[in-house]
Amino acid sequence: MKKKRVLITGGSGFLGSHICERLLDEGNEVICVDNFFTGSKENILHLMDNPFFEIIRHDVTFPLYIEVDEIYNLACPASPIHYQFDPVQTTKTSVHGAINMLGLAKRIKAKIFQASTSEVYGDPEIHPQPESYWGNVNPIGIRSCYDEGKRCAETLFFDYNRQHNLRIKVGRIFNTYGPRMAMDDGRVVSNFVVQALRGEDITVYGKGDQTRSFCYVDDLVDGIIRLMEDTPDDFTGPMNLGNPDEFTILELAKTVLDLVNSKSKLVFRDLPSDDPMQRKPDISLAKKTTGWEPSIPLRDGLIKTVEYFDSYLKSQ
């Protein structure tokens, strides 16, 4: 295979670092672009000795001039704690960042992937969520900077495709977990695992009967790569990427407690504003188009995640 030069924005983040690693393993040259707001150099330290890997500290809200074959646009805080810290900047990252990366892709005629999100569906009235569903999103809530920013980014991607014949791939990513998650990002898996390992109370919002579908990171990366590499140029997506196995938050908490053998207690707090009650992807399109579906059960993935956080906490 011809070695490709691939740009990954948000490449030092949880998901971005795994994609960097996978593309390097496949023999490509990888350029990681990140401003390190939520990303971490620790996630990519093991890649730095690779002569085909390089890092550029850059904020995607400003233009970037570089020559590459493909672009993976993952730059944006993805957890409520981080994207609500500076909501205006979050919207700028999604919208201005998309404009700048699309402009770059147009100039150099590169294929470009957009990491969209299941949050474009909001608090869904259709279950599970197919790609044809337009969503039920609050445009003025505290999560809107992320939800609407990602929706606008999708709009820009499809307009560049229609207006400039740009080769785009849009993946709507559902809840993903695994090693290299930030332990302070407020996501439910990392919250529960870290609290259980520390023997702290497990914080459950609402009654814990809201559902999520958890996809292990290796499965998710495989789905993204297949969308980019195994679909024809005229296939744009959007394509749901996630695990269709659905669990309540309470089930997740009890599984983590069991795996850690923790004596932590469950503590219930008020449900945050606009927190969706259901989340489950319809992955029929992914199966039909690429043959992709997740293969790692939740319990197996959680074992690997617990091992990672246990090792990380001990090293600190």
Instruction: State both tokens at 85.
Output: 């810290």
191 falls within a domain: no
259 falls within a domain: no
231 falls within a domain: yes
The whole model's pTM is what?
0.94
104 falls within a domain: yes
Q: Which domain holds residue 122?
A: 5-176+215-243+280-294
Structure letter (DSSP) for residue 41:
G
47/127 Cα distance (integer angstroms): 40
Residue 146 annotated as catalytic: yes
DSSP code string of 77-136? --SHHHHTTSHHHHHHHHHHHHHHHHHHHHHHT-EEEEEEEGGGGBS-SSSSB-TT---B
38 falls within a domain: yes
**Which helix (H) or strand (E) covers residue 57, if one does?**
strand 53-57
Q: What CATH number is given to the structural domain containing 15? A: 3.40.50.720
Neighbour count for residue 80 (Cβ, 10 Å): 19
Residue-by-residue pLDDT tens, the chain, 316 positions: 579 999 999 999 999 999 999 999 999 999 999 999 999 999 999 999 999 999 999 999 999 999 999 999 999 988 788 888 999 999 999 999 999 999 999 999 999 999 999 999 999 999 999 999 999 999 999 999 999 999 999 999 999 999 999 999 999 999 999 999 998 888 999 999 999 999 999 999 999 999 999 999 999 999 999 999 999 999 999 999 999 999 999 999 999 999 999 989 999 999 887 778 888 999 999 999 999 999 999 999 999 999 999 999 999 8
Catalytic residue among 72, 83, 121, 146: 146
- Number of compact structural domains in the chain: 1
* Dihedral of the alpha carbons of 304, 308, 310, 314, in degrees to the nearest 10: 160
24 falls within a domain: yes
307 falls within a domain: no
201 falls within a domain: no
155/2 Cα distance (integer angstroms): 32
**Which helix (H) or strand (E) covers residue 175, if one does?**
none
